[in-house]
Structure 1
Amino acid sequence: MVEHGLIDWTRPRWLVPALASIGLLAIALNLWVLAGAWTGGGDPGHRTLLIRELLLPRMATGLLAGAALGLAATLFQHALQNPLAEPTTLGISAGAYLALTGATLWAPWLFESGREWVALLGAGLAMLAVFSLSGGAASPLTMIIAGLLVSLLCGALAALFVLLNHDYLTEIFIWQSGSLAQIGWNTPLRFTVALATAAVLATLLLRPLTLLELGDDGSQALGMPAGAIRWAALSLATALSAIVVASVGVLGFVGLGAPALARLVGARLLAHRLVLASVFGALLLTFADAVVMLLPTAQPIPAGVATAALGAPLILLLLSRLRPSSLPGRQASAEASLETGPRPKLLLAGVPVLLAIGLLALLLGRGGDAWHGFRLDGFSSAFVTLRLPRVLAAAAAGGMLALAGTLLQRWTANPLASPEVLGISSGACLGVAGLMLLMPGLDGAWLAAMGGAALALTCLVLIGRSGKFSSEHILLGGIALSVLSSAALAILMTKGDPRIVFLLSWMTGSTYRTTLAEAEFAAVTAFSLLVLSPLLARWLLIMPLGEPVERMLGVPISAARMLVLLVAAIATATATMIVGPLSFVGLLAPHLARQLGFRRPLEQIVAGTLLGATIMVLADWLGRVAAYPWQIPSGLIATLVGGLLFVVLLARSPSTHAAGAIAAGLGRPARDGDR
């Protein structure tokens, strides 16, 4: 590889000019908007006021917010040594969302000083929760897992409030999708001060942060306290992200897209990535907002939705030119082969626990004002038509999501990898949403979910083939597909369609529409995939060690990766069609299994599957009886129950104060010099 300064010259010649053209186009579109406002009808004084107090502040906000998110995301990714880390990783957006939702419902007087202060308070509390959970260990994986917990728990609580009070929270939907609309220059001035301060501090931290690439041991050998450096970088990125989220809402894709574009054009040095990510973030957000202002739509499209809709295809296009394994962040270590031995007794104990909870969900329920169970002489059709399908579907879906999450985390050696990262869950949601718009009935929701999931899987396989099914291609391509589907869903959310209540319920994980035939199909699929998983165990043990080791040990790389992807995708698609796009079970069930000591691939797969099934069955039963006669979606209950269980396990961990123990065996992050 020939590398000179900023650009990797092995990149195609059209890449940099193409991105420069997009920047020039963004400038041209904004000038077009200004020209249209200046030449429009009406009083010249009104036109001048419109440009000075509305359009120019909005454009300035887009530039500054995009640059701030690009800078913050690059700091997150470098400090956490993970290319999937971005401003939502530490729960900042979820904390702000929860604070705004709670204040809207129960403390509207808090908005007297402005919405931004409420969002900042929520983001700050979420940040403190992450720091508390991670204890004194400032390792990257510790922060990532703690951030995941806070994000999931805050998101679940906020989603529960939204589901129960949908009519009162339409404005929160709009805020969550991001809006750059401004009146006056207060927000741009605040962003200017924040961005300038962050840029100065990032410059001061540049040399210490560069030494983090040597690893914690290497940094400390040179006299640099790695933990303190990481805390400083994360605190700076968190504060900058919180200011942006509080002022303009959630603009999530910018945090992923801007650093990815910086790497795709060949930026390798941290200083170059910080600058380029800031530039790309500003251009990406400004370009998307200019397109929004020029589109003749009845209702304004949120800036975050537009950014995702325009940026995700750009990432997909550039991925076709990305050299496999060129992204930093893949983790590899010989520790993977030194994990603890099998624990068959503890593993077998999970089966009776699952059966016991399943029987509890089958036999005990609520009716009227009292609890009741089924007597042996009282079995009726309700047992078969109502409870059995739900229990069977919950167990199968939870097990398949956990299986998919374990496969993805073992394959990519990335603790953030989870089923929804593949984009298949979002594709299924988009299929159901399309059915809602095109057909008056919802009887075909299951088939619509299947069609959307199949389309997303097809796109993912095509993306994977272009990069020999490297984990970087799959993760970035899946995220782009997921964001693209989520953008279309967000547009539907903001329209106030009454059918959105059904979609919200389905998206938060509900089994109460599942038939016995669907539950049986899910159970057979789950069992078949679990039986197939031992064939993948050897590959999953070797894959985290990197491609050179895979070749040396005779692993058929492309075939092995494609088979792992297909098994994970089929499990994700089937589970999503049954219970909706749950995220928690597939993300943290593998970590729960690892925390309990199951670290070899096969035993982690089995333990994770049992844990996922158990959590989902318990969550479905609690959702059925806790607020009877109303149903609480099992996905929300699963997030709350599983999250609290995980927090307890972290607190009891003898080796760390936080999540570092669950990451044992994932290894250290690979660096460019290792390749």
Structure 2
Amino acid sequence: MSTPTLQRAPEPSPAPSDRDAESRASRPSDGGRRGGAGGRMLVLAVLALLGVAVLALVHVSQGTASVDLGAVWRAITGSGTSQADAVLIDSRLPRLVAGLVVGCALGASGAALQSVSRNVLASPDTLAVNAGAYLAVVAVAAFGISLPALPAGATAFIGGLIAAGIVLGLSRAGSGPIRLVLAGSALTLAFSGLSGMLILLRAQETTGLFAWGNGSLAQIGMQAVNQLAPVALLALIGLLVLGRRLDILALGDDGAAVVGVSPRGTRSIAVVLAVLLAAVAVTIAGPIGFVGLCAPAIVRLLGARVPGLLRHRAFIPASAVAGVLVVLGADVLLRAVFGAQAGVAVPTGIVTTVVGAVVLVVLAYRSRDSGSTSSSTAFARVRSRRAFVITLIVAVVGVIVATIAAVLLGDARLLLGDVANWVTGNAGRIVTFVLDSRMPRVVAALLAGAALAVAGTVVQAVSRNPLAEPGILGVVGGAGVGAVGILTAVPLASFWLVGGASLAGAALAAALVFGLAARRGLEQNRLVLIGVGVSAGASALVSLLIVLTDPYNGAKALVWLSGSTYGRTFPQVLPVLVALAVTLPILVTMRRRLDVIGLDADTPRLLGIRLGSTRLGLLSIAVVLTAAAVAAVGVIGFVGLVAPHAARALVGQRHVRVLPVAALLGAFLVCVADTIGRTVIAPAQIPVGLVTAVIGAPYFIWLLWRSRREG
């Protein structure tokens, strides 16, 4: 079985000469069969170009009106005069050329990022490059600024470069896939939260960006492609020129330094060029997901039979061609399945994300668990009983203060006397109306925050990773698919029907993740990576359901997907209360097992703990808590990441102390976020999930930096 890290070339022998090291970096691995390998590469190149040509012909023929070869020729030569020719020139050919440019750019970008990070799971998606570029474009549009293609591309480039710098800077090179994927996923969540907040707050200025945010090849004219295609070509040429240096860099930093290649300089240039390619793709078509992951993976599989294909001057262009095949193939499949009319509304990026999620799950399934994932010092830190008692008292007081503020503040400000009158039944009509709608929201925020925090505590202990959170298990995405699916089929569905569908979707997603990860006893790296893949695929399916059924009301769906307590009633928060009441006593009885499992993989076995079944039971509890919270308030991120880690930092690693403190911190965080969302732009509201993303992002970045320094 192969590991999920890019294999390095053999290390150079001691004190090699410059000529020896350079010859090893450029020597084909099949030695005397160079001619045979060259012949196979030629055959592959011909087949790939033939595949691109066939897909291009099929692609340009798809639409609401039939097109013959004569019309295509007239469009190419510019001699078309009919209305059908105009449609072909202004719509279909620009869409085809956009697919060619975007596929080429994302494939080459993914190949370069994987080589630089020495990680086959690196891509513009997993490094949050696409999310950063998208946020930059949305931020400009939110202020009513309309930019031409080149300035828009420059804006996307700056956003993507910042994101890549954060992720690569906070994850050590060669540190394995899990840290990079977790860092990129969490930063993507933060940037997506900011983008969603801007789209909701500036809905008129950002009309259409929700669908575009999933990646769409639809174009009006060739202006954007004509301006940005030369930029992509220059960046691609730059990577090809850098190809020999990237080959030498595969020898290791010491081997590269021996022959005069600067590892830091080479990586920096490669990252800049890769981000520039991704920015071009985002500017043209939005963030089309996982092409940068799939294309190099396809080439690497072929490279097992044609080793010369893995040399970067062949690997990068081959990945670019594979990216074109993936993008055009996804667009052709999209319009073949949903029809020409729906193909205009449904973003191509949804299909590529589903395919990329499958590739990520397959790579994770085939990987070996290195077992190197270790806890941060917060897991091993010991705190006194006095520190725990003081922390617990402060947390309780904080929750009480946050609850009082949440009850009093909002679009209508109240006094404590109004609340007292409401409790005794003596309040006026307006006060009664306000508190009847506000109190269930406050209770929902408190209970959902506590449930997510407890679920995150369990997930971090079982995965032995302080960067993990419930969303990585695919549970949140599965719950979203269930809820949006039932709302699509039954628009007037009751809360209980939506909640039941959400729970069913979460259970199915968890069963899929656990079933695939059960190999070798639910090893944590595989579990996390499979969960990330399933979560990405589920998110794409949710977007597909939204766009197919209500493409002009993305804001409504975004509110639910961003988490909201709006319109909640006391019966609707009852499932969360029941889930907490049932699971917390169970976790208290299993507290010692949580302590032991959080240490390492060997100690539980020495103590007679059945690691696989214990992990499965604990993760099932986390699934129930997460599904109940999502059914009640929608998708809320970062709570399950921030609250458990902060609790461990405050009271130590013993779960008998961590669980209550984490629950209180989670309740406090969501309650405060909900109050902010209801207050800052009242009477309008910001979904609580977007606020928690904005609050949690700085803490997460600090956490990553600290754990990198400790590592």
Deviation, structure 1 residue 510: 0.8
CA 1:285–1:66 in structure 2 vs 1: closer, same or farther (change >3 Å)?
farther
The residue number in structure 1 matching 2:399 is 355
Match of 2:350 among 297, 305, 310: 305
Q: Is 2:242 aligned against 1:201?
A: yes
Cα separation, 2, equivalents of 1:570 and 1:273? 48
C-alpha change, 1:236 and 1:116, in structure 2 (3 Å) is: closer
| Residue 67, structure 1, aligned to residue 121, structure 2 | no
- TM norm structure 2: 0.74
1:46 aligns with 2:75: yes
The number of residue pairs the alignment matches comes to: 632
Give the whole-Å Cα distance in 2 for the aligned partners of 1:471 and 1:263: 25
> Aligned AA for 1:616?
V
The verdict on how the C-alpha distance between 1:202 and 1:573 changes in structure 2, with shifts beyond 3 A counting, is: farther
Give the distance between the partners of 1:595 and 1:279, measured in 2 at CA: 48
1:395, CA displacement in angstroms? 1.9
Q: Which runs of 5+ in 2 are unaligned?
A: 10-28, 31-45, 79-87, 426-431
Question: Residue 691 of structure 2 is aligned with which of 623, 637, 650?
Answer: 637
1:15 counterpart residue number:
none
2:82 equivalent in structure 1: none
User: Aligned pair in 2 of structure 1 residues 339, 108: CA closer, same or farther (>3 Å)?
Assistant: same
Secondary structure at 2:578's aligned position in 1?
A: helix
Which letter does structure 1 place at the counterpart of 2:494?
D
2:159 is the counterpart of 1:122: yes
Return 5+ residue gaps in structure 1 as ranges.
8-19, 651-657, 668-675
Structure 1: how far apart are the matches of 2:536 and 2:584?
29
TM-superposed CA distance for 1:412, in Å, is: 3.1
Q: 1:373: how far off?
A: 5.7
Question: 1:529 matched to which residue of 2?
Answer: 583
Is the CA contact (8 Å cut-off) linking 1:120 and 1:246 kept in structure 2?
A: no
Residue correspondence of structure 1 range 321-400 to structure 2 within 5 A? 322-323=365-366, 325-326=367-368, 331-333=372-374, 339-344=380-385, 345-346=387-388, 347-361=391-405, 363-366=407-410, 368=412, 374-379=418-423, 380=425, 385-400=436-451
Paired residues of 1:261 and 1:315 also in contact (CA < 8 A): no
Q: Give the distance between the partners of 2:564 and 2:402, measured in 1 at CA.
A: 17
Which of 305, 321, 329 is matched with 1:287 structurally? 329
Change beyond 3 A, Cα 1:369–1:348: closer
Find the residue that maps to 1:514 and give its secondary structure: coil
The residue aligned with 2:666 is: 612
* Equivalence for 2:562: 508
**Quick one: distance in 2 between partners of 1:267 and 1:408?**
36
CA contact (8 A) 1:424 1:573 kept: yes
Deviation, structure 1 residue 581: 1.4
Question: Partner of 1:430 in structure 2?
Answer: 481
Closer, same or farther: CA 142–334 of 1 in aligned 2, 3 Å:
closer
Judged with a 3 Å threshold, the aligned counterparts in structure 2 of structure 1 residues 414 and 208 are, in CA distance, closer, same or farther, namely farther
Identify which range, 560-569 or 357-366, moves more after superposition: 357-366
Q: How does 1:636-675 map to 2 (within 5 A)?
A: 636-644=690-698, 650=702, 659-662=704-707
Give the TM-score normalised by the residue count of structure 1.
0.77
1:470 to 517, 520, 523: 523
Which residue identity is paired with 1:530? L
Structure 1 residue 621, shift from structure 2 partner: 1.8
Quick one: which amino acid aligns to residue 388 of structure 1? M
1:548-588 alpha-carbon deviations (Å, 9 max, x no partner):
66545544232123123212222221111111111221233
Contact 1:361 1:391 in 2 (8 A): no
Read off the aligned partner of 1:201 and give its amino acid letter.
Answer: L
Q: 1:476 to 1:21 in 2, by over 3 A?
A: farther
Q: Deviations over 1:160-182 (max 9, x none)?
A: 22123435434322331223456
Which of 172, 176, 191 does residue 209 from structure 2 map onto? 172
Name the aligned partner's letter for residue 279 of structure 2: A
For residues 478 and 40 of structure 1, the distance between their equivalents in structure 2, rounded to whole angstroms, comes to: 46
8 Å Cα contact 1:134/1:142 also seen in 2: no
Asked if the contact 1:91/1:123 (under 8 Å) is kept, the reply is: yes
C-alpha RMSD of the superposition: 4.7
The one of 470, 474, 489 equivalent to 1:419 is: 470
3-state SS of the aligned residue for 1:331? coil
CA distance in 2, matches of 1:271, 1:549: 44
**Compared with structure 1, are the counterparts of its residues 77 and 603 closer, same or farther at alpha carbon in structure 2 (3 Å cutoff)?**
farther
CA contact (8 A) 2:102 2:281 kept: no
| Change beyond 3 A, Cα 1:343–1:200 | farther
> Deviation per CA, 1:426-482, whole angstroms, max 9, x where unpaired?
222222322332223142433332333233233334333456433344334333332
Whether contact under 8 Å (1:145, 1:659) holds in the other structure is no
Q: Which has the larger radius of gyration?
A: 2
Aligned partners of 2:304, 2:655: CA distance in 1, in Å?
35
- Looking at structure 2, the residues matched to 596 and 375 of structure 1 have their Cα atoms a distance apart, in angstroms, of 34
